[in-house]
Structure 1
Amino acid sequence: MTRLIRSLATGDTPPLSYPEVGATRTRPLPAGYQHLRVEVLVGRGRDVFHETGTAVTTWRMHRLSGARIHAESPRAEPGTGVEVSLGLGPLRLTAPCEVVWTVYEDDRTGFAYGTRQGHPESGEESFVVDLRADGTVWFTVTAFSRPARWYTRAAGRLVPVLQRWYARRLGRTLRKIAAG
């Protein structure tokens, strides 16, 4: 049984591990962190917007990208606990998070989660799908983070490279979803 599921059963969830909650929504991103912004064109039209927005907010995008997701709810809502894990066997990293904001609008859908105590990093990451005036649909990942564990500190400059790779992977996953 995962830590998240155990903590849900006991009601003892770890607190967020950073003070700048919501900064991926309000900007500018806080100083003292690595910043990430990746934009990926995923398609065109309202149908693509709805399909990809739903994939983002129901954890489908993460699951299809290869991540394991354990979430307290089937859809992203503020306060929802989420445990994301990547890797295999002893190299699997588990990352406890909490949804800190959501947006469900006619031309913008997404959410951000913040890191809880026990996450390898400290910070926040947002996943937003936008339907722009020209009909194009864009997926944007915005994040700020810094190492919170010895192994992410030791990995140094490799961590931002892996974060950028994963953000692009999520974009490619959404592009495949949009293509059917």
Structure 2
Amino acid sequence: MFFRSRYGAVSLKRSRVELTPDFNFCYILFREMLFLSWGRPSPQEQKACIDKSGGVFNYDSKYRGATAKSASSLKDDQELSKDGFALNHARFLVGSGLDTYEKGKTALKTWRHFGLDWAFVDPKTPIQNGAKFCVCVKEFLPWVMMPLQVVYVNESKRAKKTAASFGFGSGTLQGHLLAGEERFSIELDENNQVWYEILSLSKPAHFLSFIGYPYAQLRQKYFAHQSVNAVKKHLSAS
């Protein structure tokens, strides 16, 4: 079933259709929500999207926190691929030294890695377990709002010659085009080099992402390169 409203958000519960004045557009395709906005989504629209998601994860609880593991261990996890998840991993050298590492931490905590013309997160969103937020992405004409929740925050302090790292993982909520989890992290290794890493596992969660998943995967890779450039820009400016 396909339904479109010009008057607000639409929620389909069995045979009932509800309208709320939260969004410019909300599509229901095969009983799945898709949150759209013709303009850059406002904080009010993002909050309404999060509220509409019900705070319900759209992926299996056994994978909650999975991205806290190393990329190599996830690549060897046969159950992940059996359940339809694809792994996306990118790791970039962004500098060296403790000062660069601390600036990198600040970049993640203030969402500078999402400081793009076509993708953003409200920079006031706290990096803490349980915090809900929207990733807003411009796709062709409309913006797409996708709700997530921070599922863990990990930090290890440097001691002598051991590495230091800071990172957090977020899980997708109902209404997100994909199902899965993504981690962003910054690391100061034993050689004093600073690395920015993105690790995600995902699979389609909406009819549109099923038919357009190759495109979605390309966008993930494109985002990774855009994101590291945003981090480097922050490091060089601060």
* More displaced stretch, 108-117 vs 169-178: 169-178
Residues 55-100 of structure 1 deviation map (CA, whole Å, 9 limit, x = unaligned)? 11222221356423237x6431110001010116843121100001
Quickly say closer, same or farther: Cα 1:37–1:7, change in 2 above 3 A: closer
Name the count of aligned residue pairs: 177
What's the TM-score once normalised by structure 2's chain length? 0.68
Q: How far apart in 1 are the matches of 2:139 and 2:209?
A: 17
What is the match of residue 58 of structure 2? Answer: 17
Displacement of 1:5 in angstroms is 1.4
Query: Any idea what SS the aligned residue of 2:201 has?
Result: strand
Displacement of 1:154 in angstroms is 1.4
Unaligned runs of 5+ in 2: 1-43, 75-79, 158-163
Q: How far apart in 2 are the matches of 1:11 and 1:148?
A: 16
Residues 110-165 of structure 1 deviation map (CA, whole Å, 9 limit, x = unaligned)? 11111000001000000000001111100110000011111111113121111011
Query: Any idea what SS the aligned residue of 1:51 has?
Result: helix
**Which residue among 93, 116, 128 is the counterpart of 1:77?**
128
Quickly say closer, same or farther: Cα 1:85–1:108, change in 2 above 3 A: same
**Which residue among 83, 91, 96 is the counterpart of 1:39?**
91
The one-letter code of the counterpart of 1:13 is G
Unaligned runs of 5+ in 1: none
Quickly say closer, same or farther: Cα 1:51–1:118, change in 2 above 3 A: same
CA contact (8 A) 1:65 1:170 kept: no
What is the match of residue 53 of structure 1? Answer: 105
Quickly say closer, same or farther: Cα 1:11–1:151, change in 2 above 3 A: closer
Q: Does residue 173 of structure 1 match 2:230?
A: yes
Query: Any idea what SS the aligned residue of 1:157 has?
Result: helix
The one-letter code of the counterpart of 1:78 is N
**Which residue among 150, 154, 170 is the counterpart of 2:211?**
154
Query: Any idea what SS the aligned residue of 1:70 has?
Result: coil
What's the TM-score once normalised by structure 1's chain length? 0.88
The one-letter code of the counterpart of 1:48 is T
Q: Which structure's relative contact order is higher, taking Cα pairs within 8 Å and 6+ residues apart?
A: 1
Q: How far apart in 2 are the matches of 1:86 and 1:143?
A: 17
Identity of matched residues, %: 24
Which protein shows a greater Rg?
A: 2
